[in-house]
Structure formats: C-alpha cells, structure tokens
Structure 1
Amino acid sequence: MSKIVALYNNKGGVSKTTTNFNLGVYLSQQGKRVLMVDCDPQCNLTELFFASRDDLEEPDVQLPGTSIYDALLPRFKGHQGRIEQSGIEVSEHSLYSSLFLFRGDLEFSRAETYLGTSWSQAVTENIHEKNTYIVFNKLMKDIGSARGYDYILCDVGPSTGAITKTVIISCDEIVIPLVPDRFCYQAVKLLGSVISEWIENHKIISDSLVPFGIEPFEGNPKLAGTVLQNFKVHAGSKVKESYIKWQKKITEEIQSSLCKENGFSPKVGFNIEEPYTASIKDVAVLAPVAQLFGRAIFDIEQEHTKEASSNGQMYYGTVWQPWLDRMSEYKEEIAKIAEAIS
C-alpha cells in the first residue's frame, strides 16, 4: 500500500519543495517507487523535476503528462463521479528511475473554489459535493495501488486554504519543515490547532457520507517528524545565537501546542521531547546549482561547479572538497527524513 506524505508548513520559505524533491530522489535511489504530486499552483516542484531536460526549456513547449487540474476537472464540473487512474499519465525523471511526477498546473488555483465548496457543502445531501470532497484521496489511493508506488509525496503551498487542507487530510503522515525564526515560531503555535480542526471537520463530513453509500477515508494524518532548515553557522560550525534562541522557542511550542489530544497527533516512534528528525544547514550555492540541472543537492557532479565559478572553471581539490562534505552531510539528513516516514 502506498504511503501518502506531505511536507507542510503554513509559512513559506522553509524549503518544502527542495526537501520534497531531494527526499523523492533519495527514496528512489533506495529502490522505492515514488510518485511526487505537485499540488501547489506555483508549480515549483514541476519546474524542478523537468529542469534536467533540455527539450522543455522553451516557454511554449507543452509539459508531458496529465496535470493535477486537468485530472480533477471532470469531477469539479460534475461530468465524472470518480476519476479513473488509468487515464492519468505521469512522467518519469530523466535521471532517476522509479521517480515519477503528477505535474502541477497554474490553473489549479481555480480548484480552491471547487474544493472550498465541497468542504462546506459535503455535509449536506449534495452528492456532487460529497464526491468532490473524496476525489483527491480516492485518486491517490487508486493510482498508488494500481501502479505500485511505495510513496506518494505531495507538495503543497504555504496556505490553510481548501487545496492544502484537502491534500493534508488525505495524507497518512506529515513532516513539518521549520526555519528558526519568529515567523516559523508563530506558525507552529497555530499549526496544531489548524490541522486538528481539519481532522474534526473531516470526521463530521465522513459521518454524512456513509448513509449515501460513499466510503469515507481515514483523514487522520500523523506527525512523522520536523526538520530544522536553513540555519546558518559561524566559522567553526558554531550555530548563530539568534537561531539557537528561536530554535528553543519553537521546540517549546512543538512540545506544548503542536500535537493535540484527539486531533493532530504524533506517529508512533516520534519523540516529541527531541522533535527534530533532521537538521539541515544552509546549503548556500549548492541549491541553485542543483536546481539548474534538475538534480538532488547530494548528487551534484564536479563539472556542475562551473556554474558557481566566477571564471567558469570547474572546482578542484581544496575548493571542491567542501562541496563534497556538504553534499554528504545533506544526504545524511535526508536519509533521516526517509527513515522517519518508513
């Protein structure tokens, strides 16, 4: 059975998409079949996925595969009761076998209205809205089962809107990326209550589905881990004091308010007393270089350093070695996230 996972934080700029892509690459290299689903109308994951292909650089070139919006539109319009997974075309990465993408779509922002209405009307006798409410979860389960994906990794925007909560409530597990700053601290204070409210609303809607012969889904995602992202260090690998301050405050909020009784709760094995599953230092120039080539950060090759060099020359020796060290460190942290969702 496929495990559906999202990296989610209602604050932007916490490297959700970058981490999601690198996690997908890592899992595929461990022999897992991975489907990444771009549910963010900004489509950054889609751009990153196809960056390794030179044939898609022109803006007028049609991206391959079915978009998430095109797939769901027949249900939104009421033309189909259920979306058949057999009609969905996904793309395999040009460098990483067993890594697939259900691509994003700028038009998917329109789904906010359709899904928002389903959340408010599915509890009524409106069959159309009930079927719309369950369509995303059913499609993910169907496509995962039929095509043998071990993991379905969903990329969502930094919002609390209808698209995001539809995706999150459909997940089995959530990983929360965090940056040690004031805004992430404020986000964590609210996040547990927000997700718990979604879970409670889902229970009410689920009860209304059964009398109409519509099978509800579980809708009870668990917290699999948190990831401390993008913190900076001084020379000598000492973490900056300002980051330590906010990390401490965020830790306190994770322990006191993130997980709610009878609501959003931790996965068995997650230690809320030591909540950071992984700690990823600022990777600086490695991220944009990796993005240029559609590669994982830990998979940059020496020749790619030409893009970071002021004279266009490839890095060697003592200049290349720090890159290797940082890539190795990064991969170790991604491996910890993979272990947390296993």
Structure 2
Amino acid sequence: MQNLAGMARRNLWLADAMLLAVAIIWGSSYAVAKQALWFYPVLGFLAIRFGLTFALLLPQLRGAGRRAIRPGLPLGLVMLGIFLCETWGVMLTSASNAAFLISLCVVFTPFVEWAMVRQRPSKLLFAACALSLAGVWLLTGGAQMALNLGDGLMLAAALLRAVLVCLTRRLTADQQMPALALTAVQSGVVASGCLLLGLLLPEGLPALPQSPAFWAATLYLVGFATLFALYAQNLALGRTSATRVSLLMGSEPLFGALIAGVWLGERLGVQGWIGGLMILLATLGTLCFGRTQRPAGIERGANHSGCRPVLTETP
C-alpha cells in the first residue's frame, strides 16, 4: 500500500514537472517565433513549421485517424486564421504583450460559446472579463493607450481560438478520433494555405533561409512546442486533475514575459506588469471557477490549435 502511495506521488510530481516544462516552452515560443521571423517572412515560416509538423504526424491518419479528416478541414481553416493573426501579431508587437494578450482566449471562450450554443456564462466570468479588459488597458498604455496593429492581431487570434474551441466541440461531438490525427489534418491545412497565399503574392516566397538560427527556432517549435506538449498533456491528464493542469499551464504568459525580457531585452514597466498580472488572474479565475465543458469526441488532453491548448477545454 505504501509503495502504491509513493508511486502515485511520484507520478503526480512527474506530471506537474512536465506541465511546468510545457508552460515554460510555450512561454518561450513567442520570443523564438519573433527570432525566426528575422530571417523569413510570416507565410513562409508558417508553411515550413506546419509542413514539418504534418509530415511527422502523417502516420496518425491511418485507420481510425481517417475520421479526423472531415472535421479537421474546416477546423484547419480557423487555425490558419489564428496563426496568421498570431504570427503577424508577434512580429508587430512585443513578445511579452503577445503572451499576455493571447491568454485572453480563455476568457473569450465562454462568451463565444454563449453566442453559438446559448450557454450563458456565470457571473464570475463577467467579472473576469472586466478584469481582463482593465488589464489590456494597462498593458497597452493606460491613459495613453496605444493599441498597435500587433496587439490588435493578438486579440483577434485570441478570439479565433475561442471560436475554434466551440467549433471543435460541435464538429467532433460523439466521435472518437486520435488527437494527433486531428492535429495532423489541421497542420496540413495551415501549411497548404500559407504556401498557397505565399505563392500568390507578386514577389512570391524567397529561397529557403540558410541561417542555422532560423532552423533551430523552427525545429524547437515543432518538436517541443507542439509534439512534446501534446504528449505531456495527454500523459499528465491521466495522472492528475484537470484543474491542477489548468493552474500549471496558466502560468504560460508569465513565463513568456520573463523570457522575452531575458532573451530579447524587452521591458514592461510597472503599469504593464500590473496589467499583465490582471489578465493572468482573470485567466486563472476562469480556469478554476468558470463553467466549462469537455468535448466528447476527442481523446482527453487534445490540443486542438496544434500549438497551445485552449485551457477552458482540456488542460
């Protein structure tokens, strides 16, 4: 009995450690993506990143994985919009702002669900929304508010992520399919869409970058921010509670701001930190006490965005 209890504690600590590592990785992804964009344009970068992800996950589309193709195509189009907004947003604003603003998808999701399925959010979620909006106001300048295009694109990406959550629930209800298979289809749609858009530009896409820094950043995002993160979520949700997972993963924006400061030399003033922490508190409040619902059809722990989880849903 003592051995079983000790093993359970070790499994819990291992799960927590893996999730904390994922939160740090996702926090670093904003700075890493910003660095990759120094060497190659947004459309080309996304085509390479998600093309590699699709190639690695292609074996998942055998057998039961084929069920993911039909819902994965429209969901992939939404995901394409998310990453176009998010990646251009990262390029045009600071990595720390991007990390905090994208976390608003957790607060937006219940309201999108309200609009789509008429499930009214709790009063606490309205309070969390007000707190997050006040945080955005402080983060982007307060009385001298200067919401730039990059910040606006990050807010659009957060809203689209919320749409993706609700649409995923609708399209995958009562269906059993491997989470990685759905991610494979979505990744293929994003890669194909970015490649097509890039080729339609008058100047086309430039030759593949030769910089080792670009390829290191891209492989890091594919290997760690997507594949390892999916594995860690699936493993951890089998060993700990969804609330505990959500609390650990909710620290991602904080790590994003810290890493952006160390790596890129970005600095948030006192007002910016207060605004960012208000957004983080609103997110954690939504995760812990908001009314959420797990989708029925996808394996527990699935990351429907292909990069980061929508925390109201899975982690």
Structure number having the greater strand percentage: 1
Q: TM-score range by the shorter chain?
A: under 0.3
TM-score, length-scaled by structure 1 = 0.24
- Give the number of the structure with larger relative contact order, counting CA–CA contacts within 8 Å between residues 6 or more apart: 2
TM-score, length-scaled by structure 2 = 0.26
